[in-house]
Copies of this chain bind each other. A is one copy, B any other.
Amino acid sequence: MSSRPTLAAVAARAGVSASTASLAFAGSPRVAPATRERVLSAAAELGYAGPDPLAASLRRGRSGVVGAFIGERLLYAFRDPVALQLLDGISEVLSAHDVGLLLLAGDAGRPSANQIARVPLDAAIFATCGLEDDPALDQLRARGVPIVAVEGPDVEGVALIDIDDRGGTRDLARHLHDLGHRRVEVVAMPLRLDGTSGPVTPERRALAHYRDVRHRIAGVEDVFGLVPVYETPSNAVDEGAAAGRLLLDVDPSRRPTAIVAQSDVLAAGVLQAAAELGLRVPEDLSVVGFDGAELPWLTPTRLTTVVQPSDEKGRLAARAAMDLVEGGAPTRVLLPVELRVGTTSGRAPSSDRSAPR
């Protein structure tokens, strides 16, 4: 009936002071083994399960919890294999430090200000959201919570983990160019999460929230100049398929010979659309993706893509977070990516082919 026993109660029963009991639980070498034993068995008798994490956190000034901000609703965010690997990497490192991982994703995709205010965070990782004007960002900074951004907002005082989106897409584009492709179109991930889809206008592009999306467009343009970009409302297979149908179901003379999807998931959708329309890949159409995600159901097709180290990204982000907690200064990292040629890219159809280089 009475409330749980406290450290003081245990100490009293063991005949030691609270400070000693605390030391005993912390496993300090300054307490004699025999004493520790006494304390521990007193605790067992009282059903004391160890120091209250809340009280300990308050005193220590650390909560042992790191928050991960997910830009979308959980359900959608984790359909993305890259987001999943990222989070897995984060979780792996945090666990090793006995630190908890708090998921922050609201109903509308964005955690409420209230929620952020109530939750004790040692650090925050912006995992799949890239808003420089995110209100949560200011809120956290005001509170003095260290922040790590993964391909996220590039702001003073924030640690940054980036991958070479632009270089990677450039390699991809060059690969296609070498194969003789000249009519290339891009299927883009959302530029911001407002449900918009369709051809991307310059105005729209100026509104882009996500740096990776911008960079992945820029990489293609480095090689092909201005290309049509079609924005999907969400990074999902079916949206890729929908975009694919629109771009491919046109007069063959206007049909692109290659599609650069900004993610493997979108690319899978485009492949699906191509199959529906009876287009052979890569004979009639090349499709390339980005991420190097594991999509077992794609077998035996192997997507031409750019492999990024998603899990390493997560691990680095978590380590950066732990570093900041320890008082380290924010750093920036740029991770390399690697082109992986699969079975979905080939020479441009002969009627369209230009002599390579």
Contact = CB atoms under 8 A, between A and B. Distances in A.
A143 B236 CA distance: 42
A164 interface: no
A106 B95 contact: yes
Interface in A98-118: 98-107, 111-112, 114-115, 117-118
B88 A74 contact: yes
Interface string A48-62: 011011111110010
A53 B118 contact: yes
Contacts of A92: 73, 107
**Residue among A61, A91, A100 facing the most chain B CB atoms (10 A cut-off):** A100
Contact of A95 (B96, B105, B237): B105
A72 B119 CA distance: 25
A130 interface: no
Given A47-B142, A102-B101, A120 B53 contact: yes
A118 B64 CA distance: 7
A79 B84 contact: yes
A87 interface: yes
A268 interface: yes
Given A54-B58, A237-B296, 4 more contacts: A47-B142, A49-B143, A53-B120, A75-B311
Contacts of A58: 54-55, 57-58
A272 interface: yes
A270 B107 CA distance: 35
Of the four ranges (under 10, 10 to 19, 20 to 34, 35 or more), the interface on chain A belongs to 35 or more
A119 B53 contact: yes
Contacts of A105: 91, 95
Interface string A33-52: 00000000000000101101
Contacts of A64: 118-119
**Residue among A50, A56, A120, A121 facing the most chain B CB atoms (10 A cut-off):** A120
28 contacts: A4-B143, A53-B117, A53-B118, A54-B54, A54-B57, A54-B61, A54-B120, A55-B58, A65-B102, A65-B120, A73-B91, A74-B88, A75-B84, A75-B311, A78-B84, A91-B103, A95-B106, A96-B107, A98-B114, A98-B118, A100-B103, A100-B104, A101-B102, A102-B103, A120-B120, A237-B296, A268-B297, A272-B297
**Residue among A63, A91, A115, A118 facing the most chain B CB atoms (10 A cut-off):** A118
A52 B114 CA distance: 13
